[in-house]
Structure 1
Amino acid sequence: MPATEYQGSYIGRSILSLRRDQAVHSVDPGHEATSAELELDAFQKQVADRFLDLSSAGPEELLSLPWVRKLLDAFLCCQEEFRAILFNRRSQLSRSPMDRSIADFHERSIKALDVCNAIRDGIEQVRQWQKLLEIVVCALDNSSQKRSPSEGQFRRAKKALIDLAIGMLDEKEAAGGSGVAAHRNRSFSRSNLTRDHRSLGHFRSLSWSVSRSWSAARQIQAIGNNLYAPRANEIVATNGLAVSVFTMNSVLLFVTWALVAAIPCQDRGLQVHFSIPRQFAWAAPLLSLHDRIAEESKKRERRNACGLLREIHQIERCARMMSELVDSAQFPLSADKEEEVRQRVEDMVEVFEAVKDGLDPLEKQVREVFHRIVRSRTEGLDYIGRANCAE
């Protein structure tokens, strides 16, 4: 039997069932669950419930801005519960084997902070695309004036669409690890892009939060390195705390991986292995989400995307269709062409509003995740320091 299966057959049961098995051999066969055991079991249930809710998302909801926000909300709730667990067991954190496990958790948390910074940069990049969408909408939306858009308005919209196409293509190349691509000028015959339009990536580079050599793919792999379910003896030695640490490590790994999958990031990569025994109550929904997101990334139209966020796909699709319409426009516009312009503008407005409403709350959540991780690590180190001083 593989090691993970052996571990899972033991770990997958609740902390209470493990303690009840121990009680069979104790002088008190009527062992009742302590509040500490109930707290650990409640944490496992909360994680399972959160991921069951996330995994219930339909195809149109998965990887959308509301879904990503729900994912971060789940992380924050789980992290807060985990923080309470550590506080209630702070005297255990400096003892072996818990000291090594907590140190590894804090190391992974530090790596997650870089991911948060990169994600906030990616959010800013999407915000720039949103602004270009707004230019196109303002140029071509003549619903209030009841007249056909002029050639000048079409030229303004075309320039914004060219900038948007270049910006998204730059991001795709940067996501694939080609950092220098963000500083080159290009021309694309399909979209009639010209060398007169400089890459938007050039302007965002001065405020980039991570170094040019930083890789989202390598960072996620580092967070997941040597992450294995605790052995039975480790569970007993830590009174079940090792299971909670492994659970929170797994949640941290999945959330950072999903963020990198959804949001534009430098050198994105989704090749990460989740070594999670399926006997955990939360394992099935988490692994199901991993499989669904991985499958989404393999779809032909998403394979080279700069981010799997559903709204990014909608921006790209709307911009492509509007570009084709603008390129084929002849003046004066026919009634059919005017109607087509109106419909395309309505589609762009819908995407623009979704992005506008979702980006600011998402950025605030990412910032909150960053601060919670920092606070949790500071508190954990403080607990360990005080315990060592007491000894």
Structure 2
Amino acid sequence: MNPSTSSSPRLPQRTSLVTLTAQSLRESMQAGHWHGHLPGERELCTRLQVSRHTLRAALHELQRDGFLEVSDRQRRRIKTAVKTKKAVHSRVIALISPRPLLEMSPSTVVMVDDLRDQLSRQGFSFEIHVSTACFTSKPARALEALTTRSPAAAWLLFGSLEPVQSWFLRRQLPCLVVGSCAPEIGLPSIDTDYRALCRHAGGMLCGKGHRHIAFVRPQGDYGGDMQSEQGLREALGGSHSLQIIFHDSTASHLCLQIEKALRSPRPPTAYVVARAVHVLTVMMFLMQRGKRIPQDVVVISRDDETFLQHTVPAVTRYAANTGQFARSVCKAARQLAEAGTLPPKAMRLMPRLIRGETL
């Protein structure tokens, strides 16, 4: 036998999604999240964000290991030996989102999958709760019901606005805002440094002689969008005009707003667009109106997605490191779950500029 071969380290093995799902269910049962029987398959699939095929394979694994019994009515009863382990400290980290995983941006899906894998390696169970009721202007009742029904050691808030953040702040539940907090909300958060990013973008536009600039963003008081606007204003100062174009995230409304901007007395010659998917709509509509990019107007995407690699002309954009982002969220979530609290500070990660042909 070759000595170098025998001393080589064992290659790391990526845990299968079935095993991760079974582990999540097992830890939730041990923590006493359910009493008597498991919820139905549809609810479990939604909570864990897995397919029914994956869920059934995980349930079969738990039944084989003696954690579950299946009755004649196909209800899965939790074995008594498991139910007595209520004193086990929760190792569940839960994510709350207004949208299911498949409706999130591709980069967010990759980040969440990486986060799930990292948390599993450190012995944590990861759950995803999708609830539009928790993201209304008055979310208290829905949030109270959710956090009581499914307790967790730490909560990750995706796509949250001020009402959700204020509720967690009042209740003093351990949570991490994955994004930016609303002004005056003292919760720990992790996000891209949109203020610095847009200050950099504004500086580039000023350097190229653009005096009338538009910032295209969805409606809603999202902290990252407000930080972006602040960064642009800091870069442009008083000698340049900044027009904020709000839209409801539909292509028709976005085109209507761009048309209004084109007909204004001082139409923008540069567009900074939040959300990568909306960059495509802005560019195609401008070209449909006879605008050449970048000869007549320039476009910068504040965010990046893999599909922007295939545009012609190539889009100038800022790309965050999803792996670094996931590691930062995982580290903060683990500390939050183990210590119960984190300093109410904002962690900001600076993305890199990808130079394209639209600027």
Assess same fold via TM > 0.5. Answer: no
The structure richer in helix per residue is 1
Q: TM-score per shorter chain, which class? A: under 0.3
When normalised by structure 2's length, the TM-score is 0.26
TM-score by length of 1: 0.24
Q: Which has the higher strand share?
A: 2
Which structure has more relative contact order (CA 8 Å, sep 6+)? It is: 1
